[in-house]
Amino acid sequence: QESNDSKLGIVIVLDGGRLKVGSILPGSVSTRSDLQVGMIIESINGHQVSTSAEAVVLIDAIEGNVTFVVSTGTPSSVADVSSNNGDANQNEDSAVTMPWEEEHFVPVTKAGKQKSPNVIRSELQKYIDQCKADGSRTQTNIIDEMGVNNNTFRRYMNPRTYKDQWSALQNGTYRAAARLLAKAKFESDMAKKSGSAKRKA
């Protein structure tokens, strides 16, 4: 089984139950990285994948640098491949920062405008209701992950607390919820794409 990732210009193959770099296309950004043909791919941006199709779906979903943890039978190393400017390097201490992990992360709409507190409140309530319905998480668990206390959460979730909805930006729940929702959406999209890739395979 093999899959060709056009973004990075590499062919990923499944060999003996292990994902490997099958070939690297001439002139691609990967030729300037530390990736080599035959390297075993341990993980991609911290995610472990079991098929070449899953690997390609994951790479396509990542914006910015793609980090492979690879091995050649010796201790693992890390190879960064930038799909933006072709800058690639090896850095064993590198870590991929997702958008919602950025210090100044701001949730935006598809049109590029900042999401209002009312929109985030609505999306958070919908997420909580969905988690309760499918039994995946409790409201207490969600609040704990956001790192806010119950009083702060309840003030934010009550729209009558604020005469001007934008005043709710001062409540820590706004950014905490925005980060949580962005992460949840990414994980949901990844699961859907992975499932679609498996069906095609």
Question: pLDDT of 36-66, one tens digit each?
Answer: 788 888 777 777 777 767 777 777 777 667 7
pLDDT for 181:
92
Q: Which carries the bigger pLDDT value, residue 75 or residue 97?
A: 97
Q: What is the mean pLDDT of residues 125-136?
A: 94
Q: What is the pLDDT of residues 15-25, one digit of tens each?
A: 777 778 777 77
Locate 107 and state its tokens. Answer: 């949730």
Mean pLDDT of the chain: 77
What's the residue count for the chain? 201
- CA-CA distance, 40 to 46, in Å (whole number)? 15
Please compute the mean of the pLDDT values over residues 197-201 and round it to a whole number: 51
pTM: 0.51
The answer to whether the CB of 120 falls within 8 A of the CB of 181 is yes
Contact between 6 and 25 under an 8 Å Cβ cutoff? The reply is no
- Dmax (CA) for the chain in angstroms is 63
The terminus-to-terminus CA distance of the chain in angstroms comes to: 9
Please report which residue ranges of the chain form alpha helices under DSSP H.
52-61, 117-134, 139-146, 150-157, 172-200
77-107 in b/e burial notation, b at 16+ Cβ within 10 A?
bbbbbbbeeeebeeeeeeeeebebeeeeeeb
